[in-house]
Chains A and B, each alone.
Chain A
Amino acid sequence: DGGITQSPKYLFRKEGQNVTLSCEQNLNHDAMYWYRQDPGQGLRLIYYSQIVNDFQKGDIAEGYSVSREKKESFPLTVTSAQKNPTAFYLCASRDLGGSNYGYTFGSGTRLTVV
């Protein structure tokens, strides 16, 4: 079955460390997105990519970095510059040639700074 796989499900990071969250999709979707979810704040867009080797900052990109070397992969690195990284991170993908509602979400990674 096609879908989005995020790993790991739970991740613990020490202060000052960089960590990378994985997002892989086998839907052949063009666009991929990273959202951050905090209690009471909904989902906020971190980065998105509509094509390989290209990506754009979202609303809260500071302290994060991404790459899009392959169509099916869009890893997110949470750097030590991100002051409050503890959150639930969701990856999504979409077929730009399809309907306007073809977003598919992964099951998320919960990152905790210890």
Chain B
Amino acid sequence: GDSVTQMEGPVTLSEEAFLTINCTYTATGYPSLFWYVQYPGEGLQLLLKATKADDKGSNKGFEATYRKETTSFHLEKGSVQVSDSAVYFCALSVRAGSEKLVFGKGMKLTVNP
């Protein structure tokens, strides 16, 4: 079945550090890939997306590139801020049947000043 494997953390970084969160996937068909962010006590917000191979999603300084050859969608940010402290989820959706989202387990990031 479809699945997502991501770094679980928790991870603590200092402000302005470089961030990488690894995400790999297994899917039948050609999935769309997503990163969602969850701030404390809230629901999920879409951070960025990519719908086909070699697409790069970007938003708020975060980037991720859809790599079909390595089945990966790693999230990166060059300089994190305290306000980036949150839980980050990698997810996929396959355009077949219900098109439901399949999530990784999430990674909690804390950024200290």
Assuming the contacts A42-B105, A42-B106, A100-B95, asked whether A105 and B100 have C-beta atoms less than 8 A apart, the reply is: no
B103 CB, nearest partner CB in chain A, Å: 4
Interface size on B, residues (CB 8 A): 23
Question: From DSSP, what is the main secondary structure of chain A's interface residues?
Answer: strand
Residues of B within 8 A of A50 (CB): 98
Interface size class of A (residues with CB under 8 A): 20 to 34
In this complex, which of B99, B100, B103, B105 has the most chain A Cβ atoms within 10 angstroms of its Cβ? B100
Known A-B contacts A41-B105, A43-B103; A107 and B98 likewise in contact (beta carbons under 8 Å) = no
Does A75 touch B at the CB level, under 8 Å? no
Contacts of A96 in B (CB 8 A): 99
- Residues 26-71 of B contacting A (Cβ, < 8 Å): 32, 34, 36, 41-46, 49, 51
Kindly identify which residue among B43, B46, B99, B100 contacts A90, using a CB–CB cutoff of 8 Å: B43
Please state if A105 and B32 are interface contacts (CB–CB under 8 Å). no
B43 and A101 form a contact (CB under 8 A): no
- Given known pairs A40-B8, A42-B105, A107-B43, the reply for A100 and B89 (CB within 8 Å) is no
Whether A48 is near chain B, meaning CB under 8 Å from some CB there, is: yes
CB distance from A88 to the nearest CB of B (A): 9
In chain A, positions 4-47 with a C-beta closer than 8 Å to chain B are 4, 6, 31, 33, 35, 40-45
Chain B residues near A42 (CB-CB < 8 A)? 89, 103-106
CA of A41 to CA of B108 in the docked complex: distance in angstroms? 12
Find out whether the CB atom of A100 lies under 8 angstroms from the CB atom of B99: yes
CB of B30, distance to nearest CB on chain A (Å): 11
Q: Which residues of A line the B interface, CB within 8 A?
A: 4, 6, 31, 33, 35, 40-45, 48, 50, 56, 58, 90, 92, 94, 96, 100-101, 103, 105-108
The 10 A-B residue pairs whose C-beta atoms are closest, nearest first, are: A105-B43, A42-B105, A105-B44, A43-B103, A107-B43, A42-B103, A101-B49, A100-B32, A42-B106, A108-B43
